[in-house]
A and B are shown apart, each in its own frame.
Chain A
């Protein structure tokens, strides 16, 4: 779907938006792919009490959910990592649960160790058909190994392993967890209360069992006078998409209930009258159940170019709604950038403006959080760690769109 079905014939640069939805074809076999799942859990001292208790409960529920063909492994980490339960099929559920209940809190948080042990388990248990996934849960900051963690996530993304990164409480590093999830094609989640751990784990595993394509990528073949400005994923949640060489975008795994909605902003120069082909979209996916392994689709996107002031421009409301929410997400990004750059006044103003926009959308609670943080920022020059997460994850999830596409 294109924002402007008609654009003006002009030499000036013009913006044009293309919105597309990617969902699995109805013709694909619906059989569930076997999971190759590894839980990488933080057992540092700060997890003591209700957090760890809920983590154990969540683990038990996931074990119950597994099918005989699924593989599960369990890794805990503090100062060092420990494989509690090596990966195996036909998981002995009683045994796995009793192992999970032995986790004792101790030590600090060194994520990389846990991650490496988890990846190792995943690698030794993967098959051609398996959906490979790591659920990483932490409540603290890891020290000094952030860059290496991101590198591992990038490597995992290239090898069909996706991460769900989850943070509990206020002390973890949202930049790191989000980068890791994005790099691997997974998602990151902010768990504001230990009571939501079970729910988040279950939602993730349910999501995994609907996956039909392990890695979907979008390639854009642009017309000569069209340039790609930026690209965002709108659903399932908003995120900025990394554009690789040759204008390809990696979108991560695709499931039957998680259609992906993407918005691409283009810049058109030298539009001359007539029909203009903007670009060709190529979507390809790694579908293990299909004999060829990969499956691809392509589509042309064109617009009409007319003389200036010729008829009125009607922009589809879905695009306006989506871009409106995206605009708020981008303001959040900019506010954080302003703050990093030490420009407290600009960041405060941006948060305040953002609150107004949120109110217009009826997002009262998020607006209040933004105003609260704006006030805090103006007084103290910094945001609360919790408020920062609330705003980041709140604006990301603004994207729930009406199903009219």
Chain B
């Protein structure tokens, strides 16, 4: 028996698509985008006066953040040169988060399309809830919407009911 990673429905071995939610069931699904290491991500543009930009890439503090998302610990590492939005991709309403949680069971676990953002402010990494429906939590504590809260290595960030481990990279 195999289990759908998205909705946990059990299926007979060799099944290719989940009959409940349409998820492709082969573990090495190569149709998604592979996470790139930080060394591979070039710096595109210089969004220094972007309001989303906090200290900029050269500022003090950690240079990148690593998210380990959900039960499967999907690892995504992103440089902290601008705000990182977490949510569910929805081109129809023009929502393109840097971290799309759709395939991590986002919908089921109550992730809003525009859920939260992570950015660096004066060398300190903070997370801010963007008025999500099901809330953003740091180590179990619910954040007030739009009030940034400090994030440290080893913290557990909770988006709706989806758990993400945080590691900051100097």
Contact = CB atoms under 8 A, between A and B. Distances in A.
Interface of A: 3-4, 7-8, 10, 12-17, 267, 315, 319-320, 323-324, 326-328, 330-331, 334, 349-350, 352-357, 359, 364, 367-368, 371
A357 B108 CA distance: 15
A330 B26 contact: no
A17 to B, nearest CB: 7
Contacts of A326: 17
A355 B107 CA distance: 12
A14 B107 contact: no
A331 B91 contact: no
Given A315-B26, A349-B107, A371-B92, A10 B13 contact: yes
Contacts of A315: 16, 26
Most chain A CB atoms below 10 A, which of B15, B24, B91? B15
B92 A16 contact: no
A324 B17 contact: yes
Contact of A14 (B14, B19, B92): B14
B91 A15 contact: no
A267 B107 contact: no
B42 to A, nearest CB: 26
B111 interface: no
B11 interface: yes
A10 B162 CA distance: 36
Given A359-B89, A359-B92, A353 B12 contact: no
A4 B92 contact: no
Interface string B19-43: 1111010100000000000000000
Nearest to B32: A360
Contacts of A8: 13
A378 to B, nearest CB: 13
A15 B11 contact: yes
Contacts of B11: 15
A353 B22 contact: yes
Given A14-B13, A16-B14, A315-B16, A364 B92 contact: yes
B132 interface: no
B75 interface: no
A15 B13 contact: yes
Nearest to A7: B14
Given A12-B1, A349-B107, A354 B13 contact: no
A331 B88 CA distance: 20
B64 interface: no
Contacts of A267: 12
Contacts of A364: 91-92
B140 to A, nearest CB: 27
Given A13-B12, A15-B11, A367 B92 contact: yes
A8 B90 CA distance: 39
Nearest to A331: B22
A292 to B, nearest CB: 40
Most chain A CB atoms below 10 A, which of B13, B24, B91? B13
B92 A327 contact: no
A338 to B, nearest CB: 11
Nearest to B1: A12
B18 interface: yes
Contacts of B24: 320, 324
27 contacts: A3-B16, A7-B14, A10-B13, A12-B12, A14-B12, A15-B11, A15-B15, A16-B14, A17-B16, A315-B16, A315-B26, A319-B16, A320-B16, A320-B24, A331-B20, A331-B22, A334-B19, A334-B20, A349-B107, A349-B108, A352-B107, A353-B21, A353-B22, A355-B92, A359-B90, A359-B92, A364-B92
Nearest to A372: B92
A251 to B, nearest CB: 23
